[in-house]
Structure 1
Amino acid sequence: MSRREWRESQAPGAAADAPPADARVVPDFLGAPLPSEQPSASLTILTVCTGNICRSPLAEVLLRGRLEQLGVRVHSAGTHALVGHGMPEPALDLALKAGADPQVAAAHQARYLVEPIIGDADLVLAMAREHRSHVVKMMPNRLRRTFTVREFARLASTLSTEDARSAADAAGGSPQDRFAAVLRAVADQRGLTPSVAEDDDVVDPYRRSSETYARSAAQLVPALDEVERIVRAALA
């Protein structure tokens, strides 16, 4: 199913087989929905790239391995996804070397980025500025939840764990409230560190050399360290 077909299926005349109003279903465009029969996660993180086969699934499987025990759901999508494709061998090798679960990494299948997936996310981590722009154009109200992953890491690097935890504690309440408060604190770090726009992107390695794959991972993995630190501070 394409994005257009899914949107047409949501038209009023196509609602005969709609799920109950209290059922939360996020389509994956691989022929089956993702029903929320599983317990709701405390937080949801979405990673986004172009084809959803290299950068964003690498980020997904690594973050999932680090954060799943905290109840955090991590998934990914592509702005021009190669729907149904898995991670290419170089990306899969990098994932395994970085500690990803082999079964999770091998099971990945690319899917399109659509509005319900964005709307479900507490944090959207784009792999490059073009993907961040794409997300915000699709859902402008997600502007404050959307960063490139390296931009997020750069901003977070100037926010101590203690300050992040204090921001979360001040918000109290649910994990979503705590995390939203920490996201505001991260965003408030803008202007405190020098930046070059290109440095906020993770290079696209698709169909390029093994050296480019390694460079892409070297840009991505340290950024994920900061994401993990901030999430743990918010949920502490």
Structure 2
Amino acid sequence: MSDVDGTTRPRIRRADLRRMREALDHGETALPAEVPVSVPAPRPAPVPQGAPRGTILTVCTGNICRSPMGEVLLRARLRDLGVRVHSAGTHALVDHEMTEQAQQLAVANGADAGDAAAHRARLLTVQHLAETDLVLTMAREHRSYVVQLSPALLRRTFTVREFARLAATLSDDEVRRGLSAAGTDAGARLRALAELVGGQRGLVPAEPDQDDVVDPYRRSQNTYELSASQLVPAVAEVERVVRAALA
């Protein structure tokens, strides 16, 4: 039996309740020792159907070009795994839509047109980071911003191209073996994946600027296409290792 606030009350049989009342009528103030009180063990809360299986956050500046492209592309690729993918901007143009060019390129590369059209920019907050297992930024400046905002995420924050470059050194089997002690919780496995991929830092040489996705905002169609050409392969590599971790 539960109160309205969900707490569980002890179960007492009617005969025992009668004996308690008789004891009180005779002036006794303590519960008779032989009266058993049965308190059922608490039941674990059920996991809601369709609950997210881990969370990935993509980050850029205005949250209207690069990070929403990454968001909707990853969401489409990981939808069957139930992974939650969202995005935010360090200096977001709050409530603005994705630019038309970004929407077109995202859809052309496999994103859901409805997701792309529904996007509205939002400002990155500490709360967004607290709810995230893996952070993928579009450039090193965003990675630095995230870590300054939430230092605890240092080992779980990468630029998306950096993450892809490091992940490419690990086979699917190596990912699975590396996560063998991570348990079955999807969020925990994503966090462990970040640690595993981060352990490859320093093993694969790269020019730092090769880890950034170029910002196409208010620039030519060619720049938008260049930005997408840098982002799309990185998203594909993210999908591969996330699948190895969760599927």
- How would you bin the TM-score normalised by the shorter chain? 0.7 to 0.9
Paired residue for 1:210? 221
Cα separation, 1, equivalents of 2:165 and 2:116: 27
Paired residue for 2:84? 73
Sequence identity (%): 62
1:125 has 2:136 as partner: yes
Paired residue for 1:230? 241
Tell me which amino acid in the other structure corresponds to 1:90. Answer: Q
**Tell me, what secondary structure is at the counterpart of 1:170?**
coil
Cα separation, 1, equivalents of 2:195 and 2:168: 14
Root mean square deviation, CA, Å:
1.5
Aligned residues of 1:169 and 1:178 also touching (Cα < 8 A): no
Cα separation, 2, equivalents of 1:129 and 1:174: 29
Identify unmatched segments of 5+ residues in structure 2: 6-47
How far does residue 171 in structure 1 lie from its aligned partner after superposition? 2.1
Paired residue for 1:62? 73
Residues 19-168 of structure 1 aligned to structure 2 (within 5 Å) = 39-168=50-179
Identify unmatched segments of 5+ residues in structure 1: 1-19, 21-36
Cα separation, 2, equivalents of 1:191 and 1:142: 19
**Tell me, what secondary structure is at the counterpart of 1:171?**
coil
Larger Rg: 2
Provide the TM-score with structure 2 as the length reference: 0.78
How far does residue 201 in structure 1 lie from its aligned partner after superposition? 0.4
Aligned residues of 2:98 and 2:119 also touching (Cα < 8 A): yes
How far does residue 192 in structure 1 lie from its aligned partner after superposition? 1.5
Work out the number of aligned pairs and report it.
Answer: 201
Aligned residues of 1:128 and 1:202 also touching (Cα < 8 A): yes
How far does residue 175 in structure 1 lie from its aligned partner after superposition? 1.6
Q: Deviations over 1:94-146 (max 9, x none)?
A: 01111111111001000000000011000000000000001000000011110
Aligned residues of 2:74 and 2:85 also touching (Cα < 8 A): yes
How far does residue 39 in structure 1 lie from its aligned partner after superposition? 4.5
Tell me which amino acid in the other structure corresponds to 2:142. Answer: H
Tell me which amino acid in the other structure corresponds to 1:136. Answer: V
How far does residue 88 in structure 1 lie from its aligned partner after superposition? 1.1
How far does residue 173 in structure 1 lie from its aligned partner after superposition? 3.0
